Amino acid sequence: MINLYSAQIESLSIHRIGNKGKAEGLFVSQDPYPLSDELTPLIKEFFFKPFREKEENYYKFFHDQDLEFNTLFTLAKKVFDNPHGTHLLSEDIAKHLYAQSDHPHIKAGELYIAHLEGVQIDNIKTDALGIFKSELKQDFLQFRESGTNLEMILEQGINLNKLDKGCLIFNHKEDEGYKVLSVDSNRYDTKYWLENFMGVETFEDDNFYTKKYLKFCQDFAKDVVLPAEDKKEEVLFMNRAVNHFAKNDTFEETAFMNDVIDNPDLIPEFRHYKSEQSPKYKIEDLTDFSISNKAVTAQRKKIKSVINLDTNIQIKMDFINPESAEKFVEKGWDEEKQMYYYLVYFNKEQN
């Protein structure tokens, strides 16, 4: 979990990156950019807002042979070892990005490289390297007095509410390739940013394990619980699964199965499903881990507790306690109509 509230920009360098494949140039600024008191809060919001809004999916640098061969990892390490040399190193970062910018879809833009102090990650205060890129320009109007009239001037600039690309490299867990966050609002060139420029892969931490295990449970509910029982039981299973994660700090698989799987016949099915499907979720040998509360909250939002009926009726079971559905919702079969039905008990209707 990150906290950027107290983060300070210690140095900022700005360069322009063209598309190398189109013979567009690279412009490297000679000096760091001196931020003013008026500009600093706007730039910080421009840089940090996408990371506050985005779900935290961490990456780490890697290389098939050795981490030292990953260009951006090596440059980031040099920044952390000598923050005063950030601007000179930013020129190497710009050249590295320019070398990867040869695909026709890649747009030219400004590259901002900042050394940050006072960031928090995993409850540890440290520094970070921020690399941000603005690409898409927007039209806007400026006005000026011209004699007795106002004159409109059409100009182009960047929207401070939308960062096109960015990454935060935290000076944390260096031996594992640092913890890295990335944002990219333009999905058409993700490979160029994540793979070619950054060279990252997923950081498998508690946040990753929590998300992956809940996604595995969601697919088990759809592939096994639903065919074996019904939609109501599929929804109830996922409600129990999420609530188990929400009320525990650590995950232990046997305790989870005993708490969540009501039907004993489904326990061997659960084990079999995991043995076959676990490589897909990277949870092959995962039976215990610390639970990430933030990941549970994020995954809960993605899980639909809705039963869609072919009579154009929806039943939404939005319960914190899944026992509510078992008490107040019953499923049956009407012989006369030859149709299934749900019987719902309640005291009064709510607005």
pLDDT at 322 exceeding the cut of 60: no
- Segment 323-343 mean pLDDT: 80
Range of weakest confidence among 242-246, 264-268, 292-296: 292-296
Q: What pLDDT, on the 0 to 100 scale, is given for residue 188?
A: 67
pLDDT, tens digit (0-9, with 9 covering 90-100), for 98-135: 999 988 889 999 999 999 999 999 889 999 999 999 99
- Segment 172-193 mean pLDDT: 88
pLDDT, tens digit (0-9, with 9 covering 90-100), for 271-293: 999 999 999 999 998 999 999 98
Q: Is the pTM of this model over 0.75?
A: yes
pLDDT, tens digit (0-9, with 9 covering 90-100), for 194-235: 999 999 999 999 989 999 999 999 999 999 998 988 888 888
Quick check: 238 and 221 in contact, CB under 8 A? yes
For residues 8-25, one letter each, b for 16 or more C-beta atoms within 10 angstroms of the residue's C-beta and e for the rest, the string is ebebbbbbbbbbbeeebe
- Segment 316-342 mean pLDDT: 76
pLDDT, tens digit (0-9, with 9 covering 90-100), for 51-99: 988 878 899 999 999 999 999 999 999 999 999 999 999 999 999 999 9
Q: What pLDDT, on the 0 to 100 scale, is given for residue 323?
A: 63
Compute the 3-state secondary structure of the chain and give helix, strand, coil in percent, each to the nearest 5: 40, 30, 30
Map residue 32 onto helix, strand or coil: coil
C-alpha to C-alpha distance for 108 and 28, rounded to whole angstroms: 14
The mean pLDDT value of the chain amounts to 90
The Cβ of residue 187 has, within 10 Å, a number of other Cβ atoms equal to 7
For residues 289-315, one letter each, b for 16 or more C-beta atoms within 10 angstroms of the residue's C-beta and e for the rest, the string is bebbeebbebbbeebebebeeeeeeeb
Query: What DSSP element (H or E) covers 117?
Result: strand 109-121
pLDDT top residue among 330 and 18: 18
pLDDT at 332 exceeding the cut of 80: yes
Q: Which residue intervals of 188-282 are DSSP H helices? A: 190, 206-220, 226-228, 231-247, 253-260, 266-281
Map residue 183 onto helix, strand or coil: strand
pLDDT, tens digit (0-9, with 9 covering 90-100), for 125-175: 999 999 999 998 899 899 999 999 999 999 988 999 989 999 999 999 999
Q: What pLDDT, on the 0 to 100 scale, is given for residue 191?
A: 84
Q: What pLDDT, on the 0 to 100 scale, is given for residue 239?
A: 87
pLDDT at 315 exceeding the cut of 90: no
Place of tokens 């090596």: 74
Range of weakest confidence among 50-64, 171-185, 233-247, 321-335: 321-335
Strand partners of residue 138: 157
